[in-house]
DNA sequence: CTGTTAGCGCATTCAG
DNA sequence: CTGAATGCGCTAACAG
C-alpha cells in the first residue's frame, strides 16, 4: 500500500486542479461538465485509487443503497433460495444487502431489526417473522419500506409476498384422491405456523370437495424437520393403520415419513403414498423421489425485492399483496 | 410515524437540556457522566424513539462495524453453513455482514469487492475466490483486513482458513483399502479446483502407501454436481468394469454416482462402494447413506471470523493460516 | 462531570 | 460549465 490514507474527493480535486464539486460531477456522471475535464478527472481518480465513500454519501443524501434481509435461517434451502432471488435484483439495482438470521428467535429478530434501523437501510425484507403482530407493527413503522414474505400484515400498509399455501395443499390432496386414496393423513408441521394453517385448510377443502371429512385423528403436528416427520409419522401410522397416503407439511417432514416407512417395513408408494411441500432439491434425490408442491422460492425473493424497490421509490401502493402460485410435482412417492 | 423526521442527537440534547456530547456519552456509556443525567438522557432518547445513526458514526470514527462475506453461492449448503458460522461470531461482536454472491463469476467478484471497498467495511472474508492470484493481491491490498477461506495466499500476508483436503481424502481411501478394495476410482471434480487437486494428492498418497498405483484411467474429472457425478460415473464404470469402489470429489458427485449405479443395475455397496466428501445434510438421507468425510463448515466460518477480528484489532499476525481437520464418517455406501 | 470546537467525505444549494 | 458555502449526524480532542 501507499502508506498514506485513502484518497478523498478533495485529494482528487487538488490533484486535478479543479474543485471538489467538479470531481463529484465527474464521478456521478451528472452531465454539467465538459467531456474533457470529466475524462481527465476520472483518469486521475483512477490513478489515485480513489473510491467514493458510500457512507459519506449516505450521510449527505440520506439514502444508503443498502437494505436488510431478515430470515429465520439461511441454511434452510427455502430461505437461501429466497435470498438469492432478493440479491439478484438488488445487485442489478445497485443495492447491497445485510443478511440477518434470527434463528427463529424473537429476541434476535428484535435485535437485528433495531440494528438495521441504526444502519439506515433504505428498506427491509422480512421473511417469516415470528414476532407478534402488534410488536411487528411498531417495529416496522420507523422504516420507510418493509416487505413481508410469508406473512401478511395488511393493517400496517406493508407490502407482502405470499405463497398460496391453501391452493397448493388442495392440489396435492386432490391428486392423492384422484389416484384412489381415501384415508389421507396430514403431518401438519408446527401448530403456530401460518403456512401450516393454510395448508391444513387446503387439505380439508380437498377432502370436503370429495365429500370426505378430515378425521381429527389423521392430523398430527410436528416440528418441520426430518426427525420431526419421522417421529410423527411413526406415531400416526401406529395408531391409524388404515391410512393409505400421507400429506406432509414440507419435504423434510416427508423425508422423515419415508424413513418411518422404512422403519416400519412399509413400502412406498405401494403400501403408503407420501407427498411433501416446497420441492427442495432433496425432494428429487431421495428414494423414492417425492411427489410435492413446488414453491417458486427464487421468484418469491425476486418479487419481494421488486416490491420493496417500488416502495422505496414511492411508485407503489405500500400495501400490495402479491400471491405466487405453487405447482404440483408428481414423482414416485405418490405417482 | 410521528410525521416528522427521525430524531437526531441534537434533538435529544435539546429535549434533555444538555449538550450533544453529553448525549453521546450517555448513549455510548462512556463513563464520564453522572448516573442521573445518563439515565435521564437515555430515558428521553428512548421516549423520542432516537436511534443513533451508524453511518454518521462510521464517518466520524472511520470504522463501520460491518464486513463483507463473499461466497460463490450461498445456496450451496457448504457456503450457507460457513455463512452461519461467520454470522454467529460477527453478531456476538457487534458486526453486521454484507452477504455477496459471486455466482462463480470473476466479473461479479470484482464488482462486489469494489462495492465493499466503497462501503468502507472493516474487513472481508473471501470464500473460494476465483480470481487469479495477482489480481486478488491488488484487490485485497486496499482493505485493512482480509481472510481467505479455502484458498491460501500467504505472499500477501492475508490470513487464511483451510481444510486439510489431502488428509481427508487419504482417510477415505485408506478406509476403502482397509475394507478390501483394491481397484478404486476417483471422480475428481473440476480440474481447476484447488481442493480437487489436494484431494487427488491424498488419493494417490493412500494408494502409494498400500503399494498400489493410481492408474490414470481411474481418474475422471467432472462438474461438482449430481448430474456431473452421474455422467462421469457412468462413463468411468463402463470403461473400467473392474472397479470395486469409487471415491468422489464431493457428496453431490457421490449422489450422482449412486444414481449411475441404479442406472447400470449395480448394487451399492455390494457391487460397488461409493464415498463422498463434505458430509452435507443430503449425504445421510440418500439410499444408501453415504460414507464421506465431514468438513466442519460452521467451524470454518467461526475461525475465519475470529481471525478477521484479530486482524481488525491488530492482535494477530496478519498472515496466519489455520488448517481445520476433516473427519471420516462411515455409512452404508461404503461400510 | 459537562460544554465547545472541529472535522469525517460527500451532495446540494446557489453564484459566477 | 465551474466554484464556494452549508450541512448530513456523530465522535474526538480539548476546555471549562
Q: Which of B83, B84, B96 sits opposite A98 (nearest CB)?
A: B96
Beta strand B273-275 pairing with B245-248: parallel
Question: Is any atom of nucleic acid chain C found less than 7 Å from the CB of residue A57?
Answer: yes
> A293: which 3 cell numbers?
408442491
8 A C-beta contact, residue A167 and residue A325: yes
Q: How far is B192 from chain A (nearest CA, A)?
A: 25
8 A C-beta contact, residue B247 and residue B216: no
Residue A83 pLDDT greater than 50, yes or no:
yes
Kindly state the average pLDDT of the residues A182-187. 94
Within B 56-75, residues with CB less than 7 Å from strand C: 56, 59-60, 62
Residue B124 φ then ψ, to 5°: -135, 135
> Binning pLDDT at 50, 70 and 90, where does residue B3 land?
very low
Residues of B in contact with A60 (CB under 8 A): none
The protein footprint on chain D, as nucleotides within 7 A of a CB, is 1-5, 7-13
Q: Which of A98, A142, A285 sits opposite B97 (nearest CB)?
A: A98
Residues of B in contact with A73 (CB under 8 A): 84
Residues of A in contact with B51 (CB under 8 A): 114, 117-118, 142
| Across all strands, nucleotide nearest A19 (CA–C1') | D3
The protein footprint on chain C, as nucleotides within 7 A of a CB, is 1-5, 7-13
Residue A46 CB neighbour total at 10 angstroms: 10
Beta strand B146-149 pairing with B123-127: parallel
Question: Is any atom of nucleic acid chain D found less than 7 Å from the CB of residue A19?
Answer: yes
Contact A114 B51 (CB under 8 A): yes
> Binning pLDDT at 50, 70 and 90, where does residue B167 land?
very high
Kindly state the average pLDDT of the residues A312-334. 88
| Across all strands, nucleotide nearest B35 (CA–C1') | C1
Kindly state the average pLDDT of the residues A260-282. 94
Q: Which residue carries 434452510 as its cell?
A: A76
Query: How do residues A204-225 score in pLDDT, each as one tens digit?
Result: 999 998 887 767 668 999 999 9
8 A C-beta contact, residue A232 and residue A253: yes
Question: Is any atom of nucleic acid chain D found less than 7 Å from the CB of residue B53?
Answer: yes
CA B320 → CA A262, B123, B156, B241, B286, distances in Å? 48, 16, 11, 46, 38
> Binning pLDDT at 50, 70 and 90, where does residue B30 land?
confident
Residue B158 pLDDT greater than 90, yes or no:
no
Give the Cα-Cα-Cα angle A247, A252, A255 (nearest 5 degrees). Answer: 70
Beta-carbon pairs below 8 A across chains A and B: 113
Kindly state the average pLDDT of the residues A301-321. 87
Kindly state the average pLDDT of the residues A222-247. 92
Q: Is the dihedral of CA A132, A134, A136, A139 positive or negative?
A: negative
Contact A59 B64 (CB under 8 A): no
Query: How do residues B108-126 score in pLDDT, each as one tens digit?
Result: 999 999 999 999 999 999 9
Residue of A56, A66, A74 to mutate, interface with B, max B Cβ within 10 Å: A74
| Across all strands, nucleotide nearest A21 (CA–C1') | D3
Residues of B in contact with A281 (CB under 8 A): 282
Contact B120 A53 (CB under 8 A): yes
> B109: which 3 cell numbers?
467478484
Round to whole Å and give the CA distance between B16 and A122: 29
Q: What is the mean pLDDT of chain B?
A: 91
Beta strand B245-248 pairing with B292-294: unpaired
| Across all strands, nucleotide nearest A34 (CA–C1') | D1
Angle between the N-to-C axes of helices B20-27 and B35-48, in degrees from 0 to 180, rounded to the nearest 10: 90
> Binning pLDDT at 50, 70 and 90, where does residue A301 land?
very high
> Binning pLDDT at 50, 70 and 90, where does residue A15 land?
confident
> Binning pLDDT at 50, 70 and 90, where does residue B194 land?
confident
8 A C-beta contact, residue B81 and residue B301: yes
Kindly state the average pLDDT of the residues A289-305. 97
Higher pLDDT, B172 or A17: B172
8 A C-beta contact, residue A195 and residue A203: no
Q: How far is B286 from chain A (nearest CA, A)?
A: 5
> What spatial distance separates the first Cα and last Cα of chain A, rounded to whole Å?
64
Q: What is residue A216's predicted lDDT score, i.e. its pLDDT?
A: 65
Kindly state the average pLDDT of the residues B39-50. 90
Question: Is any atom of nucleic acid chain D found less than 7 Å from the CB of residue B27?
Answer: yes
Q: What is the DSSP string of B1-68?
A: --SSPPP-HHHHHHHHTS-HHHHHHHHTT-S-S-HHHHHHHHHHHHHHT----HHHHHHHHS--SEEE
Within B 70-109, residues with CB less than 7 Å from strand D: none
Kindly state the average pLDDT of the residues A139-167. 86
Residue A316 pLDDT greater than 70, yes or no:
no
Round to whole Å and give the CA distance between A245 and A185: 6
Strand order in the sheet with B159-163: A321-324, A159-163, A146-149, A123-127, A66-71, A96-101, B96-101, B66-71, B123-127, B146-149, B159-163, B321-324
Q: What is residue B217's predicted lDDT score, i.e. its pLDDT?
A: 67
B214: nearest Cα among B222, B206, B225: B206
Residue of B63, B65, B96 to mutate, interface with A, max A Cβ within 10 Å: B96
The 3-class secondary structure across B33-49, one letter per residue, is CCHHHHHHHHHHHHHHC
Question: Is any atom of nucleic acid chain D found less than 7 Å from the CB of residue B28?
Answer: yes
Q: How many CA atoms lie within 13 A of B37 on its CB side?
A: 20
The most confident of the ranges B2-6, B29-33, B226-230 is B226-230
Q: What is residue B134's predicted lDDT score, i.e. its pLDDT?
A: 87
What is the spatial distance, in angstroms and rounded to an integer, between the CA atom of A47 and the C1' atom of D11? 31
Which region among A138-142, A270-274, B223-227, B274-278 has the lowest average model confidence (pLDDT)?
A138-142
Contact A97 B98 (CB under 8 A): yes
Residue B180 φ then ψ, to 5°: 100, 0
Q: What percent of chain B has pLDDT over 90?
A: 68
Q: Which residue carries 464415498 as its cell?
A: B275
Contact A287 B286 (CB under 8 A): yes
Residue B205 φ then ψ, to 5°: -60, -40
Question: Is any atom of nucleic acid chain C found less than 7 Å from the CB of residue A19?
Answer: no
Higher pLDDT, A334 or B28: A334
Round to whole Å and give the CA distance between B215 and B212: 9
Beta partners for residue A219, in sequence order: A186
Contact B80 A84 (CB under 8 A): no
Contact A120 B55 (CB under 8 A): yes
Q: How far is A3 from chain B (nearest CA, A)?
A: 10
Kindly state the average pLDDT of the residues A266-289. 94
- Cite the beta strand spans of A102-144 per DSSP E: 123-127
Residue of A48, A53, A55, A263 to mutate, interface with B, max B Cβ within 10 Å: A55
Kindly state the average pLDDT of the residues B240-256. 93
Q: What is the DSSP string of A158-182?
A: -EEEEE-HHHHHHHHHHHHHHTT--
Amino acid at each position: 500500500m501507499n502508506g498514506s490514507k485513502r484518497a478523498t474527493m478533495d485529494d482528487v480535486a487538488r490533484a486535478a486542479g479543479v474543485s471538489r464539486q467538479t470531481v463529484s460531477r465527474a464521478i456521478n456522471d451528472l452531465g454539467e461538465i465538459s467531456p474533457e475535464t470529466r475524462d481527465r478527472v476520472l483518469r486521475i481518480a483512477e490513478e489515485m485509487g480513489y473510491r467514493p465513500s458510500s457512507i459519506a454519501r449516505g450521510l449527505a443524501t440520506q439514502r444508503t443503497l443498502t437494505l436488510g434481509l431478515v430470515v429465520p435461517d439461511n441454511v434452510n434451502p427455502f430461505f437461501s433460495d429466497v435470498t438469492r432471488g432478493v440479491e439478484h435484483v438488488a445487485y442489478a439495482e445497485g443495492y447491497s444487502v445485510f443478511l440477518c438470521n434470527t434463528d427463529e428467535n424473537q429476541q434476535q429478530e428484535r435485535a437485528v431489526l433495531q440494528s438495521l434501523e441504526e444502519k439506515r437501510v433504505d428498506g427491509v425484507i422480512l421473511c417469516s417473522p415470528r414476532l407478534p403482530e402488534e410488536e411487528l407493527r411498531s417495529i416496522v413503522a420507523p422504516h420507510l419500506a418493509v416487505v413481508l414474505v410469508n406473512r401478511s400484515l395488511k393493517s400496517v400498509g406493508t407490502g407482502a409476498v405470499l405463497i398460496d399455501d391453501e391452493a397448493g395443499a388442495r392440489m396435492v390432496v386432490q391428486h392423492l384422491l384422484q389416484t384412489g386414496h381415501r384415508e389421507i393423513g396430514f403431518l401438519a408441521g408446527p401448530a403456530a405456523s401460518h403456512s401450516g394453517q393454510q395448508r391444513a385448510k387446503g387439505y380439508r377443502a380437498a377432502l370436503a370437495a370429495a365429500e370426505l371429512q378430515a378425521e381429527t385423528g389423521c392430523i398430527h403436528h410436528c416440528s418441520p424437520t426430518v426427525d420431526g416427520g419421522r417421529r410423527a409419522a411413526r406415531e400416526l401410522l401406529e395408531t391409524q393403520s388404515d391410512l393409505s397416503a400421507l400429506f406432509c407439511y414440507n419435504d423434510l417432514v416427508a423425508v422423515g415419513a419415508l424413513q418411518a416407512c422404512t422403519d416400519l417395513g412399509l413400502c412406498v408408494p405401494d403400501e403408503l403414498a407420501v407427498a411433501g411441500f416446497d420441492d427442495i432439491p432433496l425432494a428429487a434425490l431421495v428414494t423414492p423421489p417425492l411427489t410435492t408442491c413446488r414453491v417458486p422460492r427464487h421468484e418469491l425473493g425476486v418479487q419481494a425485492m421488486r416490491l420493496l424497490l417500488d416502495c422505496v421509490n414511492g411508485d407503489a401502493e405500500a400495501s400490495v399483496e402479491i400471491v405466487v402460485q405453487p405447482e404440483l410435482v408428481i414423482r414416485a412417492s405418490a405417482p
